[in-house]
Amino acid sequence: MGGAVSSITVGSLAANSFSPNAQAILAAARTINEQNLKQFTLTTQREFRLDANKLKALVPGVPTDKVEQVFALFDPQNSGEVDSCELLATLVLAAPQLSLDTKQKAIFELFNVSSHRVGLMVADEATLLFRTVVVGTAKVLHALATPPSLEKATHELPRVAFFENLTKTMYGERETLTYLDFAQSCQDTPEIEAFMVQWTFSR
């Protein structure tokens, strides 16, 4: 994926599992199952913004205080709403019980939001996917970081051009990708594979 974000590692979640923020994220992520994933997908297809009550409904087994803590991590300005794809994708990536393949497919479906192109992802959706994965994951990692680490990590997040280049690498001359195409590109393209591995919380 390149050195630009090498100091930001998703291993921080496991390493800081004793912290309240990490415990809240893991509490929500560990409840995710196939039914949750379907609801997550339906939510992102209908709504780009999410409030705390809607999040509670999506993870009903999680204590209210932990849901509110997770929501607050993604709403630092206290606006009362967050990016639904950003928050839900991060929870999927943080779920230790889900395989990498399951996470990858779920992420694809979360960002495949067009009702008239179900199952086909266009380049703009892929760019949004890559960028949102990084921004959402970074918010969690920032919540775990010490102030000096936080400042360094903030400056090291990639620019939009980085994500656009990932998309160009993945798509080539194609206009759309099926999930199988997407998964194959993730596996066959070193830059994409490195990206997915670096920004996915491992078991």
Ordered per-residue pLDDT tens for the chain, 203 residues:
333 333 334 555 555 555 788 889 989 999 999 999 999 999 998 889 999 999 999 999 999 999 999 999 999 899 999 999 999 999 998 888 988 889 989 999 999 887 677 889 999 999 998 888 888 888 887 776 655 444 444 446 667 788 888 888 889 889 899 999 998 888 888 877 777 776 666 55
pLDDT at position 172 is 87
pLDDT at position 17 is 56
pLDDT at position 153 is 47
What is the separation, in whole angstroms, between the first and last Cα of the chain?
Answer: 20
pLDDT at position 186 is 82
Taking residue 25's Cβ as centre, other Cβ atoms within 10 Å add up to 26
For tokens 């009550």, the residue is 53
Which tokens in the block code for residue 132? 């949102």
Burial of 175 (0-12, 13-18, 19+ CB in 10 A): exposed
Contact 203, 26 (CB under 8 A): no
Closest CA to 150 of 26, 2, 16, 1: 16
pLDDT at position 14 is 55
pLDDT at position 202 is 56
pLDDT at position 148 is 44
